[in-house]
Amino acid sequence: MKRAAFNVVTIILAIVYIGLLIVGNVFYRSIPIATAPGSYAERFAQENMLHQINVPDSEKKFLDFRYENFDYNTTDKGTISIESYAGKSEDLMIPAFIGETMVTTIGEHFFDNLDIESLYLPETIVEIKAEPTKKVILYCDKDAPFYKRNQDSEDWKLETTYDSTYYNPFCADIPFYYNDNGKSIELVGYKGDDKIIAIPSYIDGKPVTTVSFNLLGHYDMVIFPDTVTEINGKVSTWIFSPVLVIELIFTVLAFVIVIATVNVILPRYARNLNEYMLSGPQVIFSILYLAAQIYLCFRYIYLVPISPFWAILISLALLLAYILIISLLNRGRKQSYKVMEEVRTQTESVRNLQSMVKNLSDGISDPETKKAVSRVMDEIRFTQAKSKDTEVENLVAEKITLLKGIIAEGNKDEIIAKCEDIISLMKNR
């Protein structure tokens, strides 16, 4: 690509980019959230102008999403046996799966020192090894194997669940990082892969009251239960922000530096001695640097929230890395000087001839003679700049010197003959 074309394309790209960035940053964005009516999260969403999603009746179960921690063992059949529970729930749900392994058994010491009122059993439970008790109500599906075998037994206090009863079959597999504050839970991170997440209402029987991690830019929707009373982390932002200004400055700077690099530092001549072609690893790294800075700008403004400090630090580090690479690869200026010296050396002979014939026709009054001398001047003026045969060019220089003497003498026929001789030599050069 020619340097002029590169400059024009880069400048147009910069103008379009900056225009789109400014126009695109007059909007407010937030994470879509669903909340329980009358909850703190609902008021928080209204005060912060968040995008609220109505939860249909079929999905309202996610407004009370509970997780528990159990101690368990693996049976000889490769399934899980729940051995104990140390949480605070009074109405406890046994998970159908922990990870991807099915829960089939309740251990023999499960009810020891356990203070609960009810226990929800999944259909996967086929055996309870613990001593029967009527202190705890066991809720089962009417088609569950355990219920069918024990529905007439007087040793257990059994009840069936309704189809509308919500049950969380994965309640022992907690996908959140959290802090246990004694009486409540603070969520500090999510370790799953889902883009739509439900904040749990309880973990181990303790209410989840605080959400302390960034949600904006990470999730497509978040569901908040009514237990949440504090939401920290970023859930919304004005895109026109300090980070926008920082990244805009660094991106404009990147455009300026790349254009300067291409026009000042890089070679101005290709090896064929025609000015004009860009080459070399510096061009590649210049384009890569510009692309990386544009990507960072869009990423930190539109995708992943970042503090102004880190925005400056990362963009500055990228700039310094680019300068270091260009410096290490800076053969451009040396190559430029080398090629320019080659140009000077290889065109010196022709430039000397052009200097010799300058104003050669001045003072000639005869039209035919003036025309012949002008042809010599044009032939030398528009010849290939690079020397191809220095011996011929030296011979032409001698004949031009002779021609000047003949012109001074005014011999028309000799002037015309000598001009034809010089033109013939130049054409065969």
Instruction: Give the residue ranges of the chain where pLDDT is below 50.
Output: 269-277
pLDDT at 320 (0 to 100):
92
Residues linked to residue 231 through DSSP beta bridges, in sequence order: 211
Task: For residue range 6-51, list pLDDT tens digits in order.
Answer: 778 888 888 888 777 766 666 667 889 999 888 999 999 888 888 8
Helices 367-381 & 390-409, crossing angle to 10 degrees? Answer: 160
Task: Compute how many other C-beta atoms are within 10 angstroms of the C-beta atom of residue 106.
Answer: 23
Of all residues in the chain, the percent with pLDDT exceeding 90 is 22
Distance CA 232, CA 127 (A): 44
Q: Please write down the HEC assignment for all residues of the chain.
A: CEHHHHHHHHHHHHHHHHHHHHHCCCCEEECCEEECCCCHHHHHHHHCCCCECCCCHHHHHHHHCEECCEEEEECCCCCEEEEEECCCCCEEECCCEECCEEEEEECCCCCCCCCCCEEECCCCCCEECCCCCCCCEEEECCCCHHHHHHCCCCCCEEEECCCCCCCCCCCCCCCEEEEECCCCEEEEEECCCCCEEECCCEECCEEEEEEECCCCCCCCEEEECCCCCEEECCCEEECCCHHHHHHHHHHHHHHHHHHHHHHHHCCCECCCCCECECCCHHHHHHHHHHHHHHHHHHHHHHHCCCCHHHHHHHHHHHHHHHHHHHHHCCCHHHHHHHHHHHHHHHHHHHHHHHHHHCCCCCCCCCHHHHHHHHHHHHHHHCCCCCCCCHHHHHHHHHHHHHHHHHHHHCCHHHHHHHHHHHHHHHHCC
pLDDT at 274 (0 to 100):
43
CA dihedral in degrees (338, 339, 340, 343; nearest 10)? 130
Question: Are 250 and 5 a contacting pair, CB within 8 Å?
Answer: no
Task: For residue range 152-175, list pLDDT tens digits in order.
Answer: 888 889 988 765 555 666 677 788
pLDDT at 169 (0 to 100):
66
Backbone angles phi, psi at 382, to 5 degrees: -105, 15
pLDDT at 246 (0 to 100):
87
Distance CA 27, CA 253 (A): 25
Task: Compute how many other C-beta atoms are within 10 angstroms of the C-beta atom of residue 350.
Answer: 21
Task: For residue range 343-369, list pLDDT tens digits in order.
Answer: 777 778 888 888 888 888 888 888 898
pLDDT at 314 (0 to 100):
92
Claim: this prediction has a pTM higher than 0.75: no
pLDDT at 267 (0 to 100):
52
pLDDT at 303 (0 to 100):
67
